[in-house]
Amino acid sequence: DWILEAVVERLDVKRELLAGVEPHRAAHAVVSSNTSGIPIASLADGRGEAFRRHWLGTHFFNPPRYLPLLEVIPTADTDSALLDAMVKFGDHALGKGVVVAKDTPNFIGNRIGMFGVARILEQLAGGAYTIEEIDAMTGPVIGRPRSATFRTLDIAGLDILAHVAANLAERLENDAERASFALPPLVAGMVERGWIGSKAGGGFYRKQKTGDGSEILTLDPGTMDYRARRPPRLPALDAAAAMDDRGERIRTLFEGRDRVGEFLRATLAPTLVYAAEAAPELAHTIDDVDRAMRWGFGWELGPFELWDAIGVERVLEAAGRTKPPAIVRAVQHSAPPAASSVRFREGPVPPRAPDLQILQRAKEQRPPVRRNAGASLVDLGDGVLGLEFPTKMHALGGDTVAMMTAGVEEASRNFDALVIGNDAPAFSAGANLMLLLLEAQEENWDEIDLMVRTFQSAVVGLRYAAVPVVVAPAGLALGGGCEIVLHGDRVHAAAETYMGQVEVGAGLIPAGCGTKELLARFTARVPAGAADPLPCIQQAFELIGFGKVSTSAADARRLGLLREADAITMNRERLLADAKATALDMARAGYQPPPRHESPWAEPASARRSISACISRGAADASATTTPTSDGPSPASSRAATCRTPRRCRSSGCWTSNAKRF
């Protein structure tokens, strides 16, 4: 159905391969190229009309699992229905952020991204900044990935960087900035030495083994030797890190009269001007330009969002431009006369489809149904109530738990369904353990007991609510967050969901009924007529005891954290919309809460015998391997001898008391 070419970036090699593909292509099959910069139409020269109608570019960004951008590049011959089908397939089936780009050298992402990288390399080659300083200034503080500039280049490979730059310098015959894509001699020197990045053992950074492990060395461009890393001393970055608003943070740094401000004005300003000049050639809308840089390069704000955050006049002044790019002039002319500043848009980049940002749109259209410091209830429309946790890392505290209970009550009275989720990178990192620690330090055991019971009541309430409860996790769903997911009637998880009961890492066991739920799920797998449930129970025990965390939603299903009936959404942007649709389907089908029941292995004598035998074997093994000392009994026998209070033993996990219980 789809033939995807991804061979070496040479026009002749690709054309030869496609010539061999054409005679064997099924009449309906799509053929595409993953080229990062060769014009798509030129690759199909010499191919037949039917081939060209089914031909287009599909440029994935590397690594494709984690970078969502997929640039789809049609030619003048590409069938429009086929283009629409490929965009939809990339979005829904592959979970990509699809941008339809024009057939120009290196398309959108690499064209603008390469221009920005060249400006940064100029500053490095000039000797005014170290590699560590530049990475500190081009990382999370300005809304870029933690790998910043040089770690990213090491991962991508300097050979790839040099190839992309050479391709642009060759093909941009009519671009006024053609010469700006030339890389400094430093890069050529590194490629000649084989210092092309992580795949070759080192690039701008190199890992070196030491007597007690390893250390990361940094290249000194002046001497072309590697040296120990030097922590950057840039006070402006420390001050800016305290600012929550990304736009304000970047604008403050950009305007600074220090080395950070000078660097950003020298690199970011010309990059934004180039993006504005090239946008009409590269893309159909400025939204597509912003999406391409967000999804392909991990920018938190795209170029036109940065224009708005910094200010059009400030960018033009820093770039030394008296004549703005045409697209900027158009915005200036369309601005109201009384406007205090010129902006490309009044708000964030809009979603690709109006049905995607349902939570954000609901909050803009209606006040919250109920809200406290830890959570809020939002009317998502169509009879569906939403519950989100806006706390840092969506940690769970008393307010959050209270709103969970309130959400179930509100949904049962006035709505048809409840969806739990958010638009953030993480679902929930779990309970706020600092609260537990403070109570333990004060020896407030009754308060801790109340906290645990309240959370247990809240999550069990999700399972037995009168309306369907659909949980929509994405990113981290750990500890208590995982337990909330486990108790949903249905789960609609993002493909990149990392779930697990990780409490053992903090010296605890899951307290929010996660142990109960996993036990029930795994004992349900016990074959009919089986006398011993222990093999299935052991799987649940290991899942908790080893603190296993899924590497994806599919892995969570394999581990037993998700059920076969639970769904996976490939595209994170569609998660809440999909969860809402699932909740409505369940409600319209006449949803009834499940009957309250315990695991079939909770009481039968066979289960008690199996577990008791397991404990007895463990006790016998421990006795056989423990040698009493002249000072008295072994610690294990001493503990057994002094164990008198069953309640205390159960809370501390005493094997002797628990064996008697069974």
User: For position 388, which CATH number holds?
Assistant: 3.90.226.10
Per-residue pLDDT reduced to its tens digit, 483-524 = 999 999 999 999 999 999 999 998 998 999 999 999 988 988
CATH number for position 265: 1.10.1040.10
In one letter, which amino acid is 163?
H
CATH number for position 59: 3.40.50.720
- Look at residues 275, 293, 268 and name the one whose alpha carbon lies nearest to residue 134: 268
N-to-C CA span, the chain: 59
3-state secondary structure of 285: coil
Predicted pLDDT at 392: 76
The Cα–Cα gap between 655 and 661 comes to 10
Q: Do 49 and 77 form a contact (C-beta atoms < 8 A)?
A: yes
Say yes or no: 151 and 239 in one domain. Answer: yes
3-state secondary structure of 539: helix
| DSSP secondary structure letter of residue 93 | I
Say yes or no: 379 and 465 in one domain. Answer: yes
3-state secondary structure of 34: coil
Percentage of the residues of the chain whose pLDDT score is greater than 90: 72
Say yes or no: 229 and 148 in one domain. Answer: yes
Q: Is 201 left (phi over 0), alpha (psi -120 to 50) or beta?
A: left
Say yes or no: 121 and 263 in one domain. Answer: yes
Find the radius of gyration of the CA atoms of the chain: 30
- Look at residues 319, 144, 150, 351 and name the one whose alpha carbon lies nearest to residue 249: 144
Residues 6+ apart with CB under 8 A from 62: 156
| DSSP secondary structure letter of residue 184 | P
At residue 629, does pLDDT exceed 80? no
Counted domains in the chain: 4
Report yes or no on 321 lying in a domain: no
Predicted pLDDT at 614: 53
User: Which secondary structure element, helix H or strand E, spans residue 193, and what is its range?
Assistant: helix 185-193
What average pLDDT does the structure give for the chain? Answer: 88
Report yes or no on 297 lying in a domain: no
3-state secondary structure of 471: strand
Q: What is the pLDDT confidence band of residue 602, given thresholds at 50, 70 and 90?
A: low
Q: What is the pLDDT confidence band of residue 580, given thresholds at 50, 70 and 90?
A: very high
User: C-alpha distances in angstroms, 168 versus 12, 110, 173, 460, 511?
Assistant: 18, 10, 9, 59, 58
Per-residue pLDDT reduced to its tens digit, 418-427 = 999 999 999 9
Q: Which pair of tokens denotes residue 44?
A: 């199909």
Say yes or no: 69 and 90 in one domain. Answer: yes
Per-residue pLDDT reduced to its tens digit, 191-245 = 999 999 999 999 999 999 888 888 999 999 999 999 999 999 999 999 998 898 9
Say yes or no: 183 and 243 in one domain. Answer: yes
State the virtual CA torsion across 280, 281, 287, 289 in degrees, nearest 10: -140
Residues 6+ apart with CB under 8 A from 308: 247, 343, 344, 345
Lowest mean pLDDT among 254-268, 404-418, 445-459: 445-459
Say yes or no: 428 and 450 in one domain. Answer: yes
Q: Within a 10 A sphere around the Cβ of 445, how many other Cβ atoms?
A: 11
Per-residue pLDDT reduced to its tens digit, 321-360 = 988 899 988 887 776 655 456 788 777 777 666 667 889 8
Q: What is the pLDDT confidence band of residue 615, given thresholds at 50, 70 and 90?
A: low
User: C-alpha distances in angstroms, 391 versus 372, 395, 489?
Assistant: 11, 6, 24
Side-chain half-sphere CA neighbours of 323 within 13 A: 2
This prediction has a pTM of: 0.83
At residue 79, does pLDDT exceed 50? yes
Considering 588, 619, 651, which residue would you say is the last residue of a domain? 588
State which residues form the domain around 618: 605-661
- Give the helix ranges, DSSP H, for 283-387: 286-297, 303-310, 312-319, 326-334, 358-365
Considering 274, 290, 325, which residue would you say is the last residue of a domain? 274
Say yes or no: 651 and 574 in one domain. Answer: no
The residue assigned the tokens 């979603």 is: 351
Is the peptide bond between 646 and the residue preceding it cis, with omega within 30 degrees of 0? no
Per-residue pLDDT reduced to its tens digit, 130-155 = 999 999 999 999 999 999 999 999 99
Say yes or no: 67 and 176 in one domain. Answer: no
Say yes or no: 630 and 492 in one domain. Answer: no
Backbone angles phi, psi at 405, to 5 degrees: -65, -45
Per-residue pLDDT reduced to its tens digit, 161-197 = 999 999 998 899 999 999 999 999 999 999 999 999 9
Q: Which pair of tokens denotes residue 360?
A: 């954000």
β-strand pairing of 97-100 with 417-420: unpaired
